[in-house]
Amino acid sequence: MGGTWTTQNKVRPGVYINFEQTRMQSEQLHRGIVTMPLDLDFGKEHEVIEVSHNTDTFGIFGEELHNIVPIREALKRAEKVLVYRLNPVSTGAKATVTHNNLTATAKYTGIKGNELKVVVESNQDKFNVKTFVGNKLVDAQKSVTNVEQLHNNSFVDFSGTGKLSATASASLSGGANGSVIEDNYKSYREAIEVYYFNTCALYSVSDNTIKNAFKDWVKRLRDNEGNKVTLVAENYSNADYEGIISVKNGVMLDDGTVLPAKKATAWVAGATAAANTNESLTYDFYDGAIDVDYKYNHASIEDYINDGEFLFTSYDGKARVEYDINSLHSFTKDKGRMFRKNRVMRTLDGINNQITKIGNDYFIGKISNNEDGRNLLKNEIIKCLQKYDNNGSITNLDTQKDVQVLASDDTDVVIVRIAAQPVDGMEKLYMTVEVK
């Protein structure tokens, strides 16, 4: 449990951290994990499914990985994607077919079920029962006599009684995805927040009501519970928040496919999740993209940057990130311009998450709140910061001055003050050129 605080009024035990600019500011956890709520044509409904580069997505969603665009684009950089199929069972439908005594019903709702077919072949006095997705054989059960002997497979459930009879092809029909509504996104948020992830992509979402609900959710996770996740959404600069990246435009892939901003969110979420605390995506190239979907002139680009937009620009037959920033554009004394830099936020979020883990795993309820205990905590925090200093995420670390662990008026509370100077990438070079 963790989050931020203004007074010492927290009820739950936990680690609460504030970052403030120009004041005392406060082993990095694993990166590369994306989550997405998706409207899909097949697969388990309302369950979190982990997908990596080696996952057999065909057996899960009825599609090869290269055909599932959001997952494919995220995995161009990410290590894994936590997928949640939004489609409601209540309004969706499972494809089905009945041939004499045998009924075959798609395992899940969705239009992909309409590509299923069952073939029953005579095998002397018995039968071979095969299940196909399109023309791909996905299951074969040999020498079967009665319906009751069949076993359900990854795509079809069998029912009925009595002896089988041959059929060249029995195609399933009636499958429907169902209409995804706002409540389905709410169910996703409730399901996913118990998982560890770095970024969440609102893939193909334009509805502002849904975006606003996700903003409230992310702010709660980040500010109240200390779970420093980042949301990626399209054209959402009015979020004006360091935990939300607003993608302004999209790209064209090398096969001619155009991915508008709402679909480019998948790659941005994957690249952001995979980037280390000492890395910036500024001027990084979108993998496999040859152009942007919409070009802006110089003045417009500057305006969008000032508005907190993450956008792509065309360069040398590729699409590159113009500036690795989030949607924050209303700056204050405590949150100045550096807080719009995603590299800086990855560092601050990483420090937050790591110190929270140290406190939760090794100190809370285990170590006495006395001078020895506080010194032990201070040493562990210094070790954490030294790792960030060594990899170039922070600089000018003074282990004597930058970490203070102090007693509080409450006997079960300690106050930790951390000064950390994040390193920013070399993103602006000012040069003088003499032309002779």
**Domain range summary for the chain, segments of one domain joined by +:** 2-27+331-422, 33-87+179-321, 96-171
Q: Could you name the CATH architecture of 2-27+331-422?
A: 2-Layer Sandwich (3.30)
Q: How confident is the model at residue 364 (pLDDT cuts 50, 70, 90)?
A: confident
Q: Are strands 33-38 and 199-201 parallel, antiparallel or unpaired?
A: parallel
Q: How confident is the model at residue 239 (pLDDT cuts 50, 70, 90)?
A: very high
pLDDT at residue 434 is higher than 80: no
- Average the pLDDT over 164-176 and give the result: 97
Sign of the dihedral through C-alpha 334, 337, 338, 340: positive
Provide the CATH number for the domain formed by 33-87+179-321 in this structure.
3.30.1370.220
The Cα 219–Cα 205 span in angstroms is: 19
pLDDT (tens digit per residue) in 385-427:
999 999 999 899 898 888 888 887 777 788 888 888 888 854 4
The mean-pLDDT minimum among 57-61, 191-195, 228-232, 394-398 falls in 394-398
pLDDT for position 3 = 58
**Does domain 96-171 match CATH 2.60.40.4290?**
yes
* Higher-pLDDT residue of 257, 12: 257
pLDDT (tens digit per residue) in 303-331:
999 999 999 999 999 999 999 999 999 99
pLDDT at residue 22 is higher than 80: no
Where does 182-330 show beta strands of DSSP type E? 199-201, 230-234, 244-247, 251-253, 258-259, 289-292, 309-310, 312-315, 318-321
pLDDT (tens digit per residue) in 129-160:
999 999 999 999 999 999 999 999 999 999 99
pLDDT for position 70 = 98
The Cα 301–Cα 311 span in angstroms is: 8
Average pLDDT over the chain, rounded to an integer: 90
Strand, coil or helix: what is 250? Answer: coil
